[in-house]
Structure 1
Amino acid sequence: WSRRHSTLSRHRCKRRWLTNRAMLRLAATTARRSATARFLASAKHAAKPRPPERDLSSRQLFAALGLRTFSREELRQRFDAADADADGYLTRHEAAELFGGALDVEADRKAAARAVLRRLDKDQDNRVSWDEFRSTILEEASRRDRRIWPLAGTMFLGGLSVGAVMPIMPILVSELGLGPADYGVVISAFGFAKLVGNVPAAALVESLGRRPLVAGGLLMIASGYGVTAFADSTLDLAGARALTGLGVAGLVTGSSMAAADLSTPLSRAATQAPLGASFNAGTIMGPAIGGGLAALVGPSATFAAVGGFVALDAIFARVMLSETRGLGSLEDGPPPDTNISTIVRRVKRSLQDSPELRRLCVANYAYWATLAGASMTVLPLVLATDLGGLQALGPGQIGALFAGQACISVVGAVPAASLADKYGPATMIPPALLVYAAAFGALPFASAHSYEAVACAMALQACGSCLLGSAPSAAAVNAVPDKDRAAALAALRVCGDVGLLTGAAALGGVAAWAGTDAAFFCASFGLVASAARFRWAAPVST
């Protein structure tokens, strides 16, 4: 019994050992399978794509909300329209409905809604209150876009080239033996080409974009300077100046449309101001560079060198500038089918439908006609003539006075633009015209007294010009729908160029017939009448 009992015990122990070993193997296999399953599950989860994120720009958000004036009433109306359940908050679902008509894919709408919350939700509670909505929208709409500074640099280089050739052109004309009539043809070719080029430039800026037109305009200016370097007749010089005028039309159109794309009604004047200030700063510095270069290599070689410099500016514009066409669009699409006939129809429709644009065009004509006639034609004659026993000023002194005006324009451009954005660009136009009128009204008395008094009157004139600044362009962009911006700016520039061409002849004729004092008084009266008409013709809604 004892031997049998021990044998059975050994068999039982062996069986328990085998059972435990099998259980351990099963446990290990189960663990391996669980680990494999977890690894595969984690890999599958990692490979699953996350919801797409969307970088929503301020302009896209403004476009989705349908904002135009950014007034408190408009913001309240848009917020209430988006707040479907009227609980005083915008949720992610309500934000997605803002893009229902613009984005066809549900994932895109959800991604855009998340972008809205990231931008507007300041306290990170996944909903947007009215205070968050209003403060964030106004803050972003009032901010100057940093992308305007490379464009301002391009305009500075362009102004530098324009200033460099200003003292050289009369020398080149003298070397070619051209008379006053021939020189008048050369000057008129530039103005006429710029006038004609405004509408085609407006069509190209819509179809090609802003950056190509800025760079292409600079290349045309460079070509004009290059042709000028080899001109040996009136026809050659007039053709070169016409080519330069077409380039200026393209440059101004592209830069002004880019500034309009990058701005809102709360920042439009402040965004456009650096362009004019940079160009004026370059114009101030240019004559010294051009004069020194001409003394070294001669006028023709200087024009060729300046042309090469402008070509480098075109390359800078092509590389550094951002394309702003379609900045507020949510989806990429083909460029609009825009041609010259389309722009002409839009110009006619905008002038018919917008009383604001019509009064802006009249005021812009009056300003440029006075600038060309009284400031560019009659005033230099007064400064170069002995009046009241005073000695006439030399070219350097006359240039210093006009450079002082440009300095005032550079220094005062940004503060004047801030006032225009605060009170409205259209509000600034009548006071600016009246200050301009006061300056020309004071010139007859100043010129009979002393040239220091003339300098004060010219400083007052620069203040009026500075107040006006970019207000007409900003008001024109605000007055029409976004798709008609190029047409509105083309209409405004056409009226200004017509004033530039006709003002010199009109006020120059008055000066020849009745004297320079009568020309100044006529200019002052015309500006006062234009300011009064602009104020009385204001739309009832403004």
Structure 2
Amino acid sequence: MTRTRPDSAVDETKLPTDIWVLVAGAFIVAIGYGIIAPVLPQFAESFGLGVTAATIVVSSFAFFRLVSAPAGGRLVNRLGERPVYVTGLLIVAASTFAVALAQTYWQLLLFRALGGLGSTMFTVSAMALIIRLAPPTARARAAGRYATAFLLGNIFGPVVGGLMAGWGMRVPFLVYAVALVIAAAVVYFRLGRNERLLAAEAKAAEERAAEDGDPEPDPANGTAAGESPEPDTVEPDRSTMRFREAWQDSAYRAALVSVLAHGWTSMGIRVAIYPLFALHVLGAGAGVSGLALTVFALGNTVAVAAVGRWADRLGRRPFILTGLLIMGVSTIALGFSGSVAVFFVLSAIAGIGAGLLNPSQQAVVADVVGPHRAGGVVLSRYQMAMDTGAIFGPIIAGLLAESLGYSAAFAVSGAVVLLAFVVWLSGRETLPSREDGSQPAQR
């Protein structure tokens, strides 16, 4: 059943300053990644080992993200979100700087792969921070703003990278490394500042209460002795949510399937198959291939910017189901594009579907974990599902394209998305109740 909030309830829920700090950090990271994305395959190929060796460098980053995700989740549970986030960014910065200095292909492969370890750390911890900091009535909006920052960075990053084309292939990696250090500094100092301000305010309130002769605060819950604690001042329970517990929730199980489909299509075949289809089937040049990716990103950005507020009002499921249906049908239709114009239109539609899906399914996972539980392992499994789709989707689609043609590759990829749609038909709505913030019953 769809849950609806009055407009005023949505408008009054403002995103905390810390969320905007994370959004700023995401934009810096994304624009830096956009700078190196067009250069990395060419840089790898410059060592003279061929196209396959170059693509292995690109895939090694995602592969190491996948294998390190469980450890990243445990680190978040043990050390906390902010230290893991900052450390992950600095690891990627160091590995990117090393890539710029690589003298052999194997050095390049090793340094780029190590960056995947740091990427997992800051990705999982960022999701955990959003869950903890965003109000329950604004989780989809917070996830949408964070995703929009990444999308805008990925749109403008290649433009900046193109302006650096004459500076050599190593310079973009140095620029990206510096950008990551800046992002780490922004998150470390701004989030730390907000936490110190809150602590200072709490201490000042205690001192004023003591001067006024008020009862001593109860150290267990921050209230005066003998008084009932207010709901929003109770010390949160930071117990750990285990994967087995989350797996019992139909919404979490469905989210794992849909994020795998999202990784397969939006992150996998979009980068690996779209350009090849434009080149070999439509006879278009490299410029058209790149423009198709931009059109997809623009459609994604428009949808993401709008969906957050509405998913926090009407529920997560309507947008997840609509996004999966749009993305699945348009992906299948892409394989039958007969012109560049049709290809562009369908790319934009697929981007809109992905934009409706992603913030909503991230909000579902946030709802399942909740702000008072440590869910690093649960979040890492979610990240692993997406990386699995991003790694194996292009490989399977590539084999299908070579053996049966591109139409078959797009058809199977779209079918994976529609399978996720079917799974979500039995997934529960997780939007918390406006009255008390409680979750709908699990099923």
Q: TM-score, normalised by structure 1?
A: 0.67
Describe how 1:262-301 pairs up with structure 2 within 5 A. 262-296=133-167, 298-301=168-171
Query: Once the 2 structures are TM-superposed, how far is the Cα of residue 516 of structure 1 from its aligned partner?
Result: 0.2
Please identify, of 216-225 and 194-203, the stretch whose mean Cα deviation from structure 2 is larger.
194-203
Match of 1:525 among 410, 415, 431: 415
Distance in 1 separating the partners of 2:19 and 2:356: 21
What is the aligned partner in structure 2 of residue 89 from structure 1?
none
Partners of 1:422 and 1:500 in 2: how far apart?
31
Of 385, 389, 397, which residue of structure 2 is paired with 1:495? 385
Q: Which amino acid aligns with 2:358?
A: G
**Aligned-partner Cα distance in 2 for 1:513–1:461:** 25
Question: Distance in 2 between the 1:336 and 1:232 partners?
Answer: 50
Q: Pick the aligned partner of 1:452 from 338, 341, 362.
A: 341
For structure 1, list consecutive stretches of 5 or more residues without a partner in the other structure: 1-69, 73-133
Kept in 2: contact 1:141–1:267 (CA 8 A) = no
Distance 2:166 2:407 in 1: 38
Matched to 1:475, the amino acid is: V
Q: Give the partner amino acid of 2:316.
A: P
Matches of 1:239 and 1:435, distance apart in 2: 39
> Cα deviations across residues 23-75 of structure 1 (Å, max 9, x unaligned)?
xxxxxxxxxxxxxxxxxxxxxxxxxxxxxxxxxxxxxxxxxxxxxxx999xxx
In the alignment, which residue of structure 2 is the partner of 1:431? 322
8 Å Cα contact 1:194-1:497 kept in structure 2: yes
State the partner residue of 1:191. Answer: 62
Asked if 1 retains the 8 angstrom alpha-carbon contact of 2:302 and 2:352, the reply is: no
Partners of 1:158 and 1:350 lie apart in 2 by 30
Q: Which of 161, 164, 183 is equivalent to 2:35?
A: 164
Specify the alignment match of 1:376 in structure 2: 271
Quick one: which of 418, 422, 429 aligns to 2:309? Answer: 418
| Of 487-496 and 179-188, the range deviating more from structure 2 | 179-188
Match for residue 307 of structure 1?
A: 177
Q: Structure 1 residues 203-212 or 274-283, which shifts more? A: 203-212
> What does residue 434 of structure 2 align with?
none
Aligned to 2:205: none
Note the C-alpha offset of 1:402.
1.3
Q: How does 1:242-253 map to 2 (within 5 A)?
A: 242-253=113-124
Compute the displacement of 1:321 (Å): 2.5
CA distance in 2, matches of 1:336, 1:466: 33
Q: Any idea what the Cα deviations from partners look like across 1:408-453, whole Å, max 9, x if unmatched?
A: 322332211112111212332111110001211221332x2x1001
CA distance in 1, matches of 2:10, 2:414: 40
Give 2:246's aligned residue: 350
Change in Cα spacing, 1:419 to 1:382, as seen in structure 2 (3 Å) is same
CA distance in 1, matches of 2:322, 2:23: 27
Could you tell me how far apart the structure 2 residues matched to 1:419 and 1:498 are? Answer: 29
- Checking the alignment, whether the CA contact within 8 Å between 2:30 and 2:153 is kept in structure 1 is yes
Specify the SS of the correspondent of 2:335.
helix
Residues 67-466 of structure 1 mapped to structure 2, 5 A cutoff: 142-296=13-167, 298-322=168-192, 346-351=242-247, 353-387=248-282, 392-446=283-337, 448=338, 450-466=339-355
* Secondary structure in structure 1 of the residue aligned to 2:46: helix
**Other-structure match for 1:516:** 406
Distance 1:334 1:355, change over 3 A: closer
Offset from partner CA, 1:239-263 (integer Å, 9 cap, x none): 2222221122122122211111122
The CA deviation at 1:484 is 4.7
Residue 164 of structure 2 aligns to a residue whose secondary structure is: helix
- Note if contact 1:194-1:248 (Cα within 8 Å) is conserved in structure 2: yes
Indicate if the aligned counterparts of 1:258 and 1:324 stay in contact, CA closer than 8 A: no
Contact 2:274 2:292 in 1 (8 A): no
**Contact 2:89–2:122 under 8 Å retained in 1:** yes
Provide structure 2 residue ranges, at least 5 long, that are not aligned to the other structure.
200-219, 223-232, 430-440
Contact 1:365/1:499, CA 8 A, preserved across alignment? yes
Residue 356 (structure 2) pairs with residue 467 (structure 1): yes
Q: Residue 232 of structure 1: SS of its match in structure 2?
A: coil
- CA distance in structure 2 between the partners assigned to 1:139 and 1:379 by the alignment: 38
**Quick one: distance in 1 between partners of 2:299 and 2:343?**
15
Name the CA shift for 1:336/1:173 in 2 (closer, same or farther; >3 Å): farther
Q: Would you say the 8 A contact 2:73–2:378 is kept in 1?
A: no
Decide which structure has the larger Cα Rg and report it.
Answer: 1
Shift of 1:153: 0.9
Change (3 A) 1:232 1:472: same
- The Cα offsets for residues 12-31 of structure 1, whole Å up to 9 and x where unpaired, read as xxxxxxxxxxxxxxxxxxxx
The CA deviation at 1:154 is: 0.9
Aligned length: 398
* Displacement after TM superposition at 1:538 (Å): 4.2
Checking the alignment, whether the CA contact within 8 Å between 1:156 and 1:281 is kept in structure 2 is: yes
The amino acid of 1:516's aligned partner reads Y
Task: State the alpha-carbon separation in 2 of the partners of residues 207 and 398 from structure 1.
Answer: 44
Q: Which runs of 4+ in 1 moved over 6 A?
A: 323-327, 332-338
Q: Distance in 2 between matches of 1:264 and 1:426?
A: 19
TM-score normalised to the size of structure 2?
Answer: 0.81
Secondary structure of 1:266's aligned partner: helix
Answer with 251-260 or 392-401: which moved more. 392-401
Tell me the CA shift for residue 500 of structure 1: 1.4
* Contact 1:374/1:519 (<8 A) preserved: no
